[in-house]
A and B are shown apart, each in its own frame.
Chain A
Amino acid sequence: MSADRSSAARRAAATVVDPELRVLTIEDLGVLRDVTEDAATGRVTVTITPTYTGCPAMDVIRADLRAALAAAGHPDAEVVTVFAPAWSTDWISGAGRAKLAAAGIAPPGPAGGRPVPVTLGVRCPHCGAADTQQVSRFGSTACKSLWRCRACREPFDHLRAF
């Protein structure tokens, strides 16, 4: 197996978007872990990891990956799911964080070493104010909580540090 990060297969896999955070690709999110191509057979293996164990988006991501790779000339691509090391919001790329903020979703702070990090305060993704308040510890998906801004009065999602 040879890791070929610049290959067409890698580029194809990296175009797949997260079905619940459609502004991010699975590469931005850190869900795409590896793409390898068998030197002898040319068969592509894509390795992904779930954000949360129960994330219902995984089946869609797997199907979208197979479709993207088939379109790139790899109809026999295999999608492997791994659980260790456990996904962390620290793996979201800088570009990914910028895309989240632009879509009105406050990006996560550093997850740090603790299982549940201390929330240092979340800036409003609409007006940038720091005077915000958590409305609900859980949100529309497993990875988000719901907040509101006291300055501009807008509600927003926050991707929890995890």
Chain B
Amino acid sequence: MNTPGTPARTTVDYLLGLGDDALVAAQRLGEWVTAAPELEEDVALANIALDQLGAARLLLSHAGELEGAGRDEDALAYLRSDREYRNCLLVELPNGDFATTMAKLLFLSAYQLPLYAALSGCADERLAAIAGKARKEVAYHLDHASIWTVRLGDGTPESHRRMRAAVAELWPYTNELFVADPAAPVDPAGLRSAFLANVEPVLETATLERPADGWGPDGGRAGLHTEHLSYLLAEMQVLHRAHPGARW
């Protein structure tokens, strides 16, 4: 989107988008720690969050160095307001029930897998190296979300009802992932067929209907977020803002 008065998107914006997706997803997944339905899932979601956090740190560090304004990963994570965050809306939505969390993870990992695969061959060598590494980790996340989507969708009437509701509620938010971006080294629109190839067979096996395409909210990449992000950031940033430079 390039309206008068809106500065053109830069490579730094694009990198912030990648890093913020991973960071906000990590923060949301971390909320499940000690609250997951079973201990194994507690461990799984914490490990997936750790992978996302690892990618976020590398991506934000790269964005900060490219920007050249002296902002490191901590400055970018802890000292930007919601309007300065560039993540997609999907990752900032509340966790909801376990089915909602798994649908979010399914859509995110089904998008990140072809995204990172494509970026691992891009001209920015540092981004390519980060993507080549994150790609291997995200493949395991996609497997995990796929297994749960099938288990819940093709499970009891109650688990099916919840999984179907989660997929229907979140589907519109996947539109934003594939909006064209002139600053992207890999055209997001070109990733949608790979995303669908990851998601559609899983939904079918899970006896879930693939929702129809239509209207989808966006704005996250331009800093226009749902109110949920403000609360997430408040919790994530409060310690650093209250005690600048605090260390363990």
B54 touches A139 (CB 8 A): no
Q: Do B55 and A54 touch across chains, with their CB atoms under 8 A apart?
A: yes
Asked if A115 meets B133 with Cβ closer than 8 Å, knowing A53-B54, A142-B51, the reply is: no
Q: Does B43 contact A (CB under 8 A)?
A: yes
Interface positions of B (Cβ within 8 A of A): 40, 43-44, 46-48, 50-55, 57-58, 113, 125, 128-130, 132-137, 139-140, 143-144, 147
CB contacts (< 8 Å) of B47 on chain A: these are: 138, 142
Complex CA gap A146/B42 in Å reads 13
Binding site for B on A (CB under 8 A): 50, 52-56, 82-87, 114-116, 135-140, 142, 146, 160, 162
Q: Give the shortest distance, in Å, between B89 (CB) and chain A (any CB).
A: 24
Given the interface pairs A115-B136, A116-B143, the reply to whether A53 lies near B43 with Cβ below 8 Å is no
Are A53 and B55 in touch, CB under 8 angstroms? yes
Instruction: Enumerate 10 A-B pairs (CB-CB under 8 Å) in ascending A order.
Output: A86-B135, A86-B136, A114-B139, A115-B135, A115-B139, A137-B147, A138-B40, A138-B144, A142-B50, A146-B40
| B51 with A53: CB separation less than 8 A | yes
The verdict on A54 contacting B50 (CB below 8 Å), with A83-B129, A83-B130, A84-B132 known, is yes
Given A52-B54, A54-B51, A54-B54, are A116 and B140 also a contact pair (CB < 8 Å)?
yes
Most buried by B among A82, A83, A85: A83
CA distance A135 to B43 in the complex (A): 12
Q: Is the CB of B144 within 8 A of A137?
A: yes
Q: How many A-B residue pairs have CB under 8 A?
A: 76
Question: Helix, strand, loop or mixed for chain B's interface?
Answer: helix
- Chain A residues lying within 8 Å of B130, measured Cβ to Cβ, are 53, 83
| Chain B nearest CB, measured from A72 CB (Å) | 29
Beta-carbon nearest neighbor of A82 in chain B: B129
Q: A52 vs B130: C-alpha distance in the bound complex, in angstroms?
A: 11
| Contact A115 B113, beta carbon cutoff 8 Å | yes
Nearest CB of chain B from residue A111's CB, rounded to whole Å: 9
CB atoms of A83 and B50 under 8 A apart: no
Rounded to whole angstroms, the CA-CA distance of A54 and B53 in the bound complex is 6
How long is the Cα–Cα vector from A85 to B53 in the complex, in angstroms?
A: 20
Which chain B residue lies CB-closest to A115? Answer: B139
With a cutoff of 8 Å between Cβ atoms, the chain A residues found around residue B48 in the complex are: 138
State in angstroms the CA–CA spacing of A119 and B133 once bound together: 20
**Residues of the B chain whose Cβ atoms lie less than 8 Å from the Cβ of A140:** 43
User: Smallest Cβ distance from A118 to chain B, in angstroms?
Assistant: 11
Asked if A86 meets B133 with Cβ closer than 8 Å, knowing A52-B54, A56-B50, the reply is yes
In the A-B complex, the 6 residue pairs with the closest CB atoms:
A54-B54, A53-B54, A115-B139, A84-B129, A136-B40, A54-B50
In the complex formed, the residue of B with least CB distance to A146 is B40
B51: which of A52, A82, A135, A160 is its contact (CB, 8 Å)? A52
What residues of A have a CB within 8 angstroms of the CB of B58 in the complex?
A: 53, 83
Min CB gap A95→B, angstroms = 24
Q: Is B51's CB under 8 angstroms from A86's CB?
A: no
Q: CA–CA, A55 to B47, complex, Å? A: 10
Given the complex of chains A and B, what is the CA–CA distance between A139 and B140 in angstroms? 13
Q: Which residue of A lies closest to B53 (CB)?
A: A54
Q: Are B134 and A53 in contact (CB under 8 A)?
A: yes
Shortest A51–chain B CB gap in Å is 10
Which residues on the B side are within 8 Å of A82 (C-beta)?
129
Smallest Cβ-Cβ distance to A114: which chain B residue: B139
Known: A136-B44, A138-B44. A85 touches B54 (CB 8 A): no
Are B128 and A84 interface neighbours, CB within 8 A? yes
Q: Residue on A with the closest CB to B47?
A: A138
Give bound CA distance, A140 to B40, whole Å.
Answer: 10
CB-based contact A83/B139 at 8 Å: no
Tell which of B44, B113, B132, B140 has the most Cβ of chain A within 10 Å.
Answer: B140
Interface centre among B51, B58, B136, B147 (most CB of A within 10 A): B136
Residues of A within 8 A of B139 (CB): 114-116
